[in-house]
Structure 1
Amino acid sequence: MPSKTDEPPSYEDALQQPKYADFPAPPHHGFPLPPPPSYSPSPDPPCPGVYGISRTSSGFYPSAAPTTVPTLSAGVPSSNTGDMEDFLSTQWESTSIRHAFIRKVYLTLAAQLAVTFSVVAVFIFVEPVQKFVQIYSGVYWASFGIFVVVYCILICCKEPRRRFPWNLLLLGVFTLALSYMAGTISSYYETKAVFVAMGVTAVICVAVTLFCFQTKVDFTSCGGLLCIVSVLLVVLGIVTAVVLSFKYVPWLHMLYAAIGAIVHTLFLVYNTQLLMGNRQLALSPEEYIYGALSLYIDVVDIFLFILQISGAADLD
């Protein structure tokens, strides 16, 4: 058990008699120590320190918070600007390609309509031709068969780009066949009724085109509904043909023609929006033949249905 003498000395005794004589005693200050400096940075210009951290003259490091507010482009590498430019250029190229595609479709459609209405004009103004197509109805049914066969080829057969002239040739044959059919039907009506049908068809086509390029309604999502409506139109046409074979009912004929014109106007809206490319469905820029074909059939069908209405009105 340790004795009392082994106990450590008090603080005052240790100051008076240090254990180690060689160790100097701490100095005694007669005035209080100054307070430590604050952390506020000195207005003096900073000196460069280690790792890029500045040190003030007071010996302490200032706050590392930035003195400026970072912008949206802060910290973005310069390569991102090029990526954005590439994205914008790609968008511009796709838009220009779509516009070129639309121009090509409408130029092809204009050529087809010019051929069709030229044939119609010949059939209604040249009397020998008008009598020929009315007497020899077999030519009409032959043109109808050519129309169906070529239409199936153009729809079902996807040919590569290098063979597009063959598609253009088939499109020309298809245009001549449908033009002959339209001219044969027009030869049975008065010239006034034909011109009225042409004018109304032109107004409808212009109105539909302006509507499609201005509206936000997406008609490309209504393909199933249009398919059902077209089937109902075919059934209504069969019923109308059976009824009219027994007794002529003018209002029934005009009703069917009006419904047919409305249905094909909706198809014209649908096919026009397929060209635009900013809807749920869109045509590829390489499918300009299919686009022109669809619009051409819609326009000719609208003309034929309007012709039936105007012709029935002239009979009254």
Structure 2
Amino acid sequence: MTQQKVAPVKTVSGNMPPTYDEASGGCPAYVYVDPEHGTFHWDDKNVRRVFVRKVYAILMLQLLTTLGIVATFTFCMPVKFFIQTHPGIYSLSYMFFFISYITLACCGDIRRKFPWNFILLTIFTLSMSCMLGFISSYYNTKSVLLCLSITAMVCLCVTLFSFQSKVDFTSCDGLMFMVCMVLLFSGIIMSFTVPFGYVPWMHAVYGGVGALAFTLFLAFDTQLLMGNKQYAMSPEEYVFATLSLYLDIVYLFSFLLQIFGGHSE
């Protein structure tokens, strides 16, 4: 995530394009290599369009994979019975999810290096899909279909709004932090009510706060992807951009399940 105004034009000696570290100069700016004039910058519409197409192409593959696994775990009764009687699958999936997510989020060199970035992203997607499918298997099929439909409509509306709106969500980092704190403290309060049993209205309120939070994060990350606001995401970070959008959508779906989901009998 970088400021749009810091994009100095430098001269590249020789015919070799600059490395990522040389191009970023300590603050990864928009870099685009011009072989004729030996200059580079990333504030280029063609580069940004290619970046956006790449991110959404990977994201669509992730979402289709997740949809297929969730549908299998929810609608196929033998699979549903198997995973509910083997909860260790969830723990194993969580372990792979945690390792792959920490590696992609914290190790920038690995995140930008092919093919390791795609291998880790595949592991992350499969493990997250299995976790989500495991959770969805405990809800009835109508609730899962309803939440999938709502998630798809919300994502479409938020994406179109973020593309067209003049409101700069990337400059609202203070607001996003406050939303995170509200979500955190709501989760802490919820944890104290677990020993006293299921409280429907409290879970619904918590689900509503979470759904609102990740709807805002989806708008925030979409505008970072577009790069036409105060802050933008580097085109080198297509894996991280995909990761952010995918998590926003998945968490939005999981919180909607808490609001509208009816547990299986």
TM-score by length of 1: 0.68
TM-fit CA distance, 1:91 = 9.5
Map 1:270-285 onto structure 2 (within 5 A).
270-285=220-235
Counterpart residue number, 2:146: 196
Counterpart residue number, 2:20: none
Residue 257 (str. 1) matches residue 207 (str. 2): yes
Q: Distance in 1 between the 2:184 and 2:42 partners? A: 43
TM-fit CA distance, 1:264 = 0.5
Q: Please, which moves more after superposition, 284-293 or 157-166?
A: 157-166
Map 1:32-181 onto structure 2 (within 5 A).
94-159=44-109, 163-181=113-131
Q: Distance in 1 between the 2:102 and 2:213 partners? A: 21
- Gapped regions of structure 2 (runs ≥ 5): 1-35
| Contact 2:74–2:137 under 8 Å retained in 1 | yes
Counterpart residue number, 1:237: 187
TM-fit CA distance, 1:125 = 1.6
- Gapped regions of structure 1 (runs ≥ 5): 1-85
Counterpart residue number, 1:293: 243
Q: Distance in 1 between the 2:72 and 2:59 partners? A: 20
Q: Which amino acid aligns with 1:144?
A: Y
Q: CA RMSD in A?
A: 2.2
| Contact 2:110–2:117 under 8 Å retained in 1 | no
TM-fit CA distance, 1:162 = 7.8
Counterpart residue number, 2:254: 304
Question: CA 1:92–1:265 in 2, change beyond 3 Å: closer, same or farther?
Answer: closer
Q: Distance in 1 between the 2:155 and 2:112 partners? A: 32
| Contact 2:104–2:110 under 8 Å retained in 1 | no
TM-fit CA distance, 1:240 = 1.2
Residue 221 (str. 1) matches residue 171 (str. 2): yes
TM-fit CA distance, 1:92 = 11
Q: Distance in 2 between the 1:91 and 1:161 partners? A: 21
Q: Distance in 2 between the 1:222 and 1:260 partners? A: 18
How many residues align structurally?
227
Q: Distance in 2 between the 1:215 and 1:93 partners? A: 20
1:287 aligns to what SS in structure 2?
Answer: helix
TM-score by length of 2: 0.80
Q: Distance in 2 between the 1:227 and 1:164 partners? A: 33
2:116 aligns to what SS in structure 1?
Answer: helix
Counterpart residue number, 2:24: none
Residue 187 (str. 1) matches residue 137 (str. 2): yes
Q: Return the structure number with greater relative CO, CA threshold 8 A, min gap 6.
A: 2
Q: Please, which moves more after superposition, 302-311 or 92-101?
A: 92-101
TM-fit CA distance, 1:133 = 1.6
Q: Which amino acid aligns with 2:183?
A: L
Q: Which amino acid aligns with 2:175?
A: L
Percent identity for Structure 1 against Structure 2: 49
Q: Distance in 2 between the 1:103 and 1:163 partners? A: 19
Q: 1:137-167: CA deviations, max 9, x gaps? A: 1221221122122111101111279832110
Q: Distance in 2 between the 1:141 and 1:289 partners? A: 25
Q: Distance in 2 between the 1:227 and 1:276 partners? A: 21
